[in-house]
Chain A
Amino acid sequence: MTTLPSQTDTKLGLVIDLDTCVGCHACVVSCKGWNTQNYGAPLSDKDAYGTPEGTFLNRVHSYEVQPDQGPAQTVHFPKSCLHCEDAPCVTVCPTGASYKRTEDGIVLVNEDDCMGCGLCAWACPYGARELDLMAGVMKKCTLCVDRIYNENLPEEDRVPACVRTCPSGARHFGDLGDPNSDVSKLVAERGGMDLMPELGTKPVNKYLPPRPKDTLDCGVALNPVAEEAKGFLGWLDNALEKM
C-alpha cells in the first residue's frame, strides 16, 4: 500500500557534512558500483562510450555562495534520497511499487511492481529518483538496505556503500529517530538542516551547514621585537641568552 506508515520504528538516514565534503564523487561511484551489482536491476548506461546517459542514485553538485561580505564560497553538495517522513513519491505511486518501510522508514521501490510511469520522480522535490532507461523501472537510493542488516558482511561494514567509502568522513549513517544516536547528536550540535522544508516532506536525511568562512580577524598583527634589523639581532642575542 502506498499510504505512508503513521510512524516508523526507527528513522534511518544519512547526515551529510557540507563543511567536510570535498566533492570527490567517491560516494557517487561507489553507490553506482554497489547498486549495479545488488538490489534490483543493474544501473545501466545508455550509449556508454558515446554520449552517455546513465542511472545514478547519488550525485554531487557544486555550488557557489556569494555572501554579502567577503569572497564567494564553494560548496560541494551530495544528494540522494532523503527518505522523507512525508514522502510524496510514495503516495502518488499507482502500483504500490513505492513504499516506506514501517520498520526503519526506508523508502524503496519494488521493481517487480513498478510500471515506470515516472510520477514518483515528478513528486520528489529533490531529484532523488531516476528511471533506469534500460530496465524501465524507477531507481532510487535504497539506503543500502541490502548492506545495513547484512549478516554476510562484517558488523562494521553494515553501513551504506557511500558512507563506507567517503574518504573525508563527510557522510554519517544512523537512526535519526533516536535523539541519543551519534547522528542525532551531530545534527543537534551542528544545526543540521532540512532541504526545502517549505514543501513539508520532512526529510529524514539532514545536512550539516558549512561552518562560517573567511572569519580571520585582519586587525590582528604580530608586534615586532625591534624596528631595525640590527635591533632584531640584539633581541636574538638576549633571547638566546635566556635559553
Chain B
Amino acid sequence: MSAAAGTRIEARPSPVISDEVRQTTCYMCACRCGINVHMKDGEVAYIEGNRDHPVNKGVLCGKGSAGIMQHNAPSRLRSPMKRVGPRGSGEFENISWDEALDIAADMLRPIRENNPEKLAFFTGRDQSQSFTSFWAQQFGTPNYAAHGGFCSVNMAAAGIYTMGGAFWEFGQPDWDRAKLFMIFGVAEDHDSNPIKIGLGKLKANGAKVIGVNPIRSGYNAIADEWVGITPGTDGLFILALVHELMKAGKIDLDYLARFTNAPGLINASEGPDKGLLLRDEDGKVLVIDRATGKLTPFDQMGVKPDLNGTLERDGVTHRTVFNEMATRYLEPEYAPEAVAERCGVSADRIKAIAALLAKTAFDEAIEIDQPWTDFRGEKHEKMIGRPVAFHSMRGISAHSNGFQTCRSLHILQIILGSVEVPGGFRFKPPYPKPVEAHPAPHCGVKPLSPLDGPHLGFVRGPEGLALKEDGTPARIDKAFTWENPMSAHGLMHMVISNAHAGDPYKIDTLFMYMANMAWNSSMNTKGTMEMLTDKDENGEYVIPNIIYSDAYSSETVAYADLILPDTTYLERHDCISLLDRPICEADGAADAIRWPVVEPDRDVRGFQSVLCELGAKLDLPAFINEDGSQKWADYADYIQTHQRKPGIGPLAGFRGENGDQGGRGAPNPNQIDAYIENGGFWINHIPDEALYYKPWNKAYQDWAVEIGILDTPMPYLFQLYVEPMRKFQLAAEGHGERQPPEHLRERIKETMDPLPYWYEPFEGTMVDEEEFPIHALTQRPMAMYHSWGTQNAWLRQIHGHNPLYVPTKIWEANGFEDGDWAKVTSHHGEITVPVSHMAALNDNTVWTWNAIGKRKGAWALKEDAPEANKGFLLNHLIHELLPSKGDGMRWANSDPITGQAAWFDLKVRIEKAPPPDQSQPVFPSIKSPVGQGPDDIAWEVGK
C-alpha cells in the first residue's frame, strides 16, 4: 500500500516575496534603523533591514522584525477619547477629532492668556523634540522637556561639557580600527544595532573586549574579560586606572598639550576669580609656551603649551590643570590597592587592565597616511591613532554620582589620547560641538507670547539658572536650579510629584506624549498613580487637566482626561532631524524620514500633525499665516517648508528648489518624495581629511559650516577642567550676585568639583548598610522596548515575565531553590517576586529585566497574561526622593549636578517568601478602552 507523495518543494524555488517594498524608518525603539517594508495586497507582509541605511546596514533586531505585530496590535487606540469614569478607571467615551481639539484648545487657551507656565508639556520618548519644543516655545511655557532627564543626561552632559559630544548615540568607537574596547554599564543602549555590528567587527578583527558590568549577559557575555564591578563604584575604578597610567607616564602628552585645557592655568588668587582659568582680554585661555616661556593664547600658530607650567603672579603660584590633576590622581587614595575592595575588583586586575590600555594605546598605535591641518594652521602628515575605544551608558550614568563618573571616564579616554583619533572614540555629526555652540536655557514667560528662547541648554554659570526674580524655580521640574544646576535635559521624573505638591507652583494642565508615566517610567509608581488621581478639598483633581497622546492602550492612558490617539510608526510622517537626534555616522551626516507606508484604518492622527492643528487653533504665531489661517496642513508640510534659519530646515537632504542641495538650501516642495526615492534617508559623507580630529580639524570645521551644522568654524579644547562648575562653587563660597540657598551651599561646594572625583551614591549613604546590603538593578532586554514590546504577540513570548536574578552567594545564603519567591524590601517599599539563580553576577547585586511587569487591563492583554501575574517592576522600590535625613528635607534621588534620576542607586534586602498567587503588589484592573486581543493568530497576509 502506498500513498502518492505530495508536492515537494522544487529544487530551486523562487517565490515572489511581495508586491512592493516601501522603505522607511523603524520605530520599535529609538535606534532609527532603515527598514524595507514588504507589502502584499496593500498590507504589511514582512519587514527586513535596509542594506543601504547608514544605521543598520541591512541588519534588524528582534523588535524591528516584529514590527508587523506592533503595527497590527489589538492594543492600538482607535479614536480620540474623553474620560467618563474616574481617573485611573479606564472608562472612556469615543469622541470626534473636532471635539477633541476643541476640548484641548479650551483647556489651553486661558492658560496661554494668563500664565503660560501652567501648562507642563512633556514628551517622553519623543523623536521630534525639535518640533515639540518649538511648539512649546511658541505656546510660551517654560515647562517643556523630553525623557532625557531620567534617562541618561549624566552621560550627555558630562560628554558635552568635557568633550563637546557624548556616547549615547552621538558618538561611536572606531569599530574598524579599535584593538581594545572597554564597555561600561551597557546592556543594550540606543545605538543597539550599530553596537552589535561594531562588536561583530571587533570580534572578526581579533580585538579584545573588556566588559565592566555587575552582570555578565548580552554584550558582557561576549567580552573577553569581565569586570563584575560593584554598582556605583566605576568612578573609583576608572580613577585608579588614571592613577596607574599617570604614574607610569603612559599618557599622550602631545595630545593633552595641543587639544585639551590641560595646559590652562588655574587662577590661584583668592577672590571671585579663584579657580577660574587665566584668560586674555578676548576671553581666550592662556597657556605657557614652552618655546618662549611666555604666556600666550592657546590657539596661536606654533605654540607649544606647557603642561607643567607654573606662573608666579602677585606672590601667588598659578598652576596648570594638568599639574592639578597629577597632584590629585597620584594620591594614594586612587591607588588600585585603595579602591579594590570597594569596587569588588582586585588591585592586580586593575593594574593589569591599566597596563593593557597603555600597551594598546602606545605600543600598538596606528598611523593613517592622511595629512590634515589643525585649527592653529599646523599641518600634520599623518593621523596618529590610539586603538583603545570606550563606550558607556546608563550603568554609570544612572547613579547620583553619575556625572562625575562619566567625566572620569572621559578623562581616562583623553589622557590616552583616544578621542577623535583612529582606533578611538569618534563623534557623529552634529557633534563635536563645544558648549558655547549650544543654547543656554530660557524661561522668560509672557502671556500670549512665545518663550524668549529654547527651554533646554547648557548653563555656563549661576547666571544661566532658570530662576524667577525671587530666586524660586522657574520650571515645574526645577531644572537648572541650585538643586541640579546643569540639568541639560530637564527632569521629567519630577514633574508629576512637583505638580502634585504645588512645589514650586501649581499647574493647570499636564500634557504628555509617549511616556508611560503611570507605570514603568516613574519612580514610586504607586505614589505616582495616587498623585494623578488625588483630589483637593473641593473634590477637584489636584492636577486639574491631563491630556495624553499615546498610540496604544498603555497604563497611562487610564489617567488622562483627554486622549489624542497617535498612529503607528508605519502610518505617519516623521523626521529624524539633524536638529535633534539624527542618524549620523562618524563618517557622515545623515537624516531620515518616516512616511505612511499604510494609511491608518482607525480614527487616529499623527501627533505632530495634531500639534500643527492645535497650534493654529491657539493662534501660536509660528503656526498661523498672516490671515490667521492654519500654516502647516500637517507635519509633512512643516517638515518640508519650515526653516529654522534661512536655508536650514528639519531635513538637510535634497534642499533647494530642485532638490540638489545638501545641508543648506531653500525648501524643496518635493523633499519628502526625494527621501522616499532615496530609501527614506539622506547622507553626506565627511571628506577623508576631515574624518578624525574633528574638533581641531580645519577641514572638518569647514565642512560642518558648509552643510549647516555650525554657523562658523568653532574649534575648541577638551575641558578636562570644567570651568562653569567652578563658577557654581564660587557662588557657594559666597561670590557673585546669585547665591544658593544655605542648605545647598556645602553640597554645591563639594559636588561641583571641576575635576572629577568619586563619592558614594546617595541612597547607599542614607540607608543602613546592614538593613539594605544589596544593590538592585534593571537591564533592558534586547528583544523588548520598555513597556511597548508587551503588546507584541511575538516578543512577549520571549519575555513574558521576569525573575529576579540572584547571585550564588545570596542564593545559597537564603536556601533558594528553583521556583522560589522572595520578598524584596527597600527603604521605600516592598515587592514579592519570583527568583532565579545566576552565577555570572556581582556578589552583592540582584537584577531583573526592565518594564516587563504590566498592570492588569492594559495593553489589551487578558487577565491571565504572565506580565500581569508573574511579571513585576522594580520601580515600586525606588522613590523619587531620598529617605529623610532628619533635617526635615527630602532630597531628590537624582544626581546633584544634572538631576539625572538615580535608578541604579537602589539598595534592598531580600528574603525567601511563601509563593503568593501573583507578584506583589497587585493593583486593580484597568478597564481596557480597546477590549482584549483575539485568541489564536496565524499572521499571514496576501495569500
Sample of 24 A–B contacts (CB below 8 Å): A22-B782, A28-B783, A32-B65, A32-B794, A37-B38, A37-B940, A45-B793, A47-B936, A49-B934, A50-B862, A66-B839, A72-B216, A110-B5, A157-B51, A161-B48, A165-B49, A166-B59, A168-B197, A169-B204, A213-B224, A213-B226, A224-B248, A225-B249, A236-B308
Residue B66 CB within 8 A of the other chain: yes
- How far apart sit A114 and B800, CA to CA, in the bound complex (Å)? 31
- How far apart sit A37 and B13, CA to CA, in the bound complex (Å)? 15
**Contact A164/B794 with A44-B937, A66-B839, A233-B326 known, Cβ cut-off 8 Å:** no
- How far apart sit A49 and B783, CA to CA, in the bound complex (Å)? 17
Partner of B797, one of A1, A38, A54: A54
Who on chain B is nearest to A213 by CB?
Answer: B224
Partner of B217, one of A74, A96, A150: A74
Q: Mask for B539-573, Cβ within 8 A of A = 1, else 0? A: 00000000000000000000000000000000000
Who on chain A is nearest to B319 by CB?
Answer: A233
Chain B residues 347-398 with CB under 8 Å of chain A are 348-349, 351-356, 358
Who on chain A is nearest to B807 by CB?
Answer: A72
Instruction: Report the minimal beta-carbon distance from B238 to chain A, rounded to whole angstroms.
Output: 16
Residue B796 CB within 8 A of the other chain: yes
Who on chain B is nearest to A97 by CB?
Answer: B6
**Contact A146/B15 with A216-B349, A240-B290 known, Cβ cut-off 8 Å:** yes
Partner of A48, one of B12, B307, B864, B934: B934
Residue B881 CB within 8 A of the other chain: no
Residue B68 CB within 8 A of the other chain: yes
Residue B8 CB within 8 A of the other chain: yes
Who on chain A is nearest to B784 by CB?
Answer: A25
**Contact A113/B800 with A33-B68, A34-B46, A103-B11 known, Cβ cut-off 8 Å:** no
- How far apart sit A29 and B85, CA to CA, in the bound complex (Å)? 39
Residue A202 CB within 8 A of the other chain: no
Residue A170 CB within 8 A of the other chain: yes
Q: Which of B104-112, B239-247, B529-537 lies at the interface?
A: B239-247
Q: Mask for A6-33, Cβ within 8 A of B = 1, else 0? A: 0000000000010111111110111011
Chain B residues 296-328 with CB under 8 Å of chain A are 304, 306-308, 322-323, 326-327
Of the four ranges (under 10, 10 to 19, 20 to 34, 35 or more), the interface on chain A belongs to 35 or more
Q: Mask for B279-298, Cβ within 8 A of A = 1, else 0? A: 00000000000100000000
Give the interface centre of A52, A157, A217 by most chain B CB atoms within 10 Å.
A52
Q: Mask for A33-59, Cβ within 8 A of B = 1, else 0? A: 110111101111111111111101000
Q: Mask for A52-87, Cβ within 8 A of B = 1, else 0? A: 111010000010101000011111100000000000
Chain B residues 918-943 with CB under 8 Å of chain A are 932-941
- Give me the 7 closest cross-chain CB pairs, A-B, nearest first: A49-B933, A112-B6, A167-B196, A222-B248, A169-B200, A72-B839, A50-B862
Residues of B within 8 A of A52 (CB): 793, 796-797, 800
Partner of B936, one of A17, A134, A164, A236: A134
Residues of A within 8 A of B747 (CB): none
Who on chain B is nearest to A112 by CB?
Answer: B6
**Contact A49/B782 with A113-B6, A232-B326, A240-B306 known, Cβ cut-off 8 Å:** no
In the complex, the answer to whether A36 meets B938 with C-beta atoms within 8 Å is yes
Q: Mask for B159-203, Cβ within 8 A of A = 1, else 0? A: 000000000000000000000000000000000110011011101
Residue B744 CB within 8 A of the other chain: no
Give the interface centre of A47, A76, A150, A217 by most chain B CB atoms within 10 Å.
A47
Chain A residues 140-171 with CB under 8 Å of chain B are 145-146, 149-153, 156-157, 161, 164-170
Instruction: Report the minimal beta-carbon distance from A5 to chain B, rounded to whole angstroms.
Output: 13
In the complex, the answer to whether A149 meets B12 with C-beta atoms within 8 Å is yes
Give the interface centre of A25, A32, A42, A239 by most chain B CB atoms within 10 Å.
A25
Residue A173 CB within 8 A of the other chain: no
Residues of A within 8 A of B860 (CB): 49
In the complex, the answer to whether A113 meets B217 with C-beta atoms within 8 Å is no
Partner of A152, one of B17, B192, B253, B355: B17
Residue B749 CB within 8 A of the other chain: no
**Contact A22/B62 with A50-B861, A232-B246 known, Cβ cut-off 8 Å:** no
- How far apart sit A221 and B354, CA to CA, in the bound complex (Å)? 7
Residues of A within 8 A of B61 (CB): 24, 26, 165, 167
Residues of A within 8 A of B791 (CB): 49
B residues lining the A interface (CB < 8 Å): 3, 5-9, 11-17, 38, 40, 45-49, 51, 56, 58-66, 68, 74, 192-193, 196-197, 199-201, 203-204, 216-226, 228, 244-250, 253-254, 257, 290, 304, 306-308, 322-323, 326-327, 330-331, 346, 348-349, 351-356, 358, 782-783, 791, 793-798, 800, 838-840, 860-862, 864-866, 932-941
Residue A135 CB within 8 A of the other chain: yes
- How far apart sit A221 and B357, CA to CA, in the bound complex (Å)? 11
- How far apart sit A41 and B249, CA to CA, in the bound complex (Å)? 66
Residue A180 CB within 8 A of the other chain: no
A residues lining the B interface (CB < 8 Å): 1, 17, 19-26, 28-30, 32-34, 36-39, 41-54, 56, 62, 64, 66, 71-76, 95-97, 99, 101, 103, 108, 110-113, 134-135, 145-146, 149-153, 156-157, 161, 164-170, 210-211, 213-225, 229, 232-233, 235-237, 239-240, 243
Residues of A within 8 A of B866 (CB): 51
- How far apart sit A43 and B59, CA to CA, in the bound complex (Å)? 22
Residues of A within 8 A of B783 (CB): 24-26, 28-29
Instruction: Report the minimal beta-carbon distance from A122 to chain B, rounded to whole angstroms.
Output: 22
In the complex, the answer to whether B48 meets A20 with C-beta atoms within 8 Å is no
Give the interface centre of B49, B254, B308 by most chain A CB atoms within 10 Å.
B308
- How far apart sit A52 and B865, CA to CA, in the bound complex (Å)? 8
Instruction: Report the minimal beta-carbon distance from A86 to chain B, rounded to whole angstroms.
Output: 21
Residues of A within 8 A of B196 (CB): 22, 24, 167-168
In the complex, the answer to whether A236 meets B326 with C-beta atoms within 8 Å is yes
Beyond A29-B62, A48-B935, A110-B9, 15 extra complex contacts between A and B, CB < 8 Å: A20-B199, A26-B60, A36-B940, A37-B45, A49-B932, A103-B11, A108-B8, A151-B14, A164-B48, A169-B201, A222-B354, A222-B358, A233-B308, A239-B249, A240-B290
Residues of B within 8 A of A97 (CB): 6
Residues of A within 8 A of B65 (CB): 26, 29-30, 32-33, 165
Instruction: Report the minimal beta-carbon distance from B864 to chain A, rounded to whole angstroms.
Output: 5
In the complex, the answer to whether B793 meets A134 with C-beta atoms within 8 Å is no
Partner of A21, one of B59, B60, B222: B222
- How far apart sit A48 and B248, CA to CA, in the bound complex (Å)? 60
Residues of B within 8 A of A74 (CB): 216-217, 220-221, 840
- How far apart sit A237 and B322, CA to CA, in the bound complex (Å)? 12
In the complex, the answer to whether B203 meets A17 with C-beta atoms within 8 Å is yes
Residues of B within 8 A of A219 (CB): 348, 352
Partner of B326, one of A56, A62, A153, A229: A229
Partner of B348, one of A25, A110, A218: A218
Who on chain B is nearest to A165 by CB?
Answer: B60
Residues of B within 8 A of A26 (CB): 59-62, 64-65, 782-783
In the complex, the answer to whether B60 meets A45 with C-beta atoms within 8 Å is no
Residues of B within 8 A of A42 (CB): 938-940
Who on chain A is nearest to B58 by CB?
Answer: A164
Residues of A within 8 A of B38 (CB): 37
Residues of B within 8 A of A166 (CB): 59
**Contact A165/B48 with A49-B862, A215-B224 known, Cβ cut-off 8 Å:** yes
- How far apart sit A237 and B307, CA to CA, in the bound complex (Å)? 8
Partner of B840, one of A21, A71, A96: A71
Who on chain B is nearest to A17 by CB?
Answer: B203
In the complex, the answer to whether A44 meets B326 with C-beta atoms within 8 Å is no
Residues of B within 8 A of A218 (CB): 346, 348-349, 351-352
In the complex, the answer to whether B864 meets A51 with C-beta atoms within 8 Å is yes
Give the interface centre of A210, A215, A233, A235 by most chain B CB atoms within 10 Å.
A233
Who on chain A is nearest to B47 by CB?
Answer: A33
Give the interface centre of A22, A49, A152, A214 by most chain B CB atoms within 10 Å.
A49
Who on chain B is nearest to A217 by CB?
Answer: B352
- How far apart sit A68 and B47, CA to CA, in the bound complex (Å)? 45
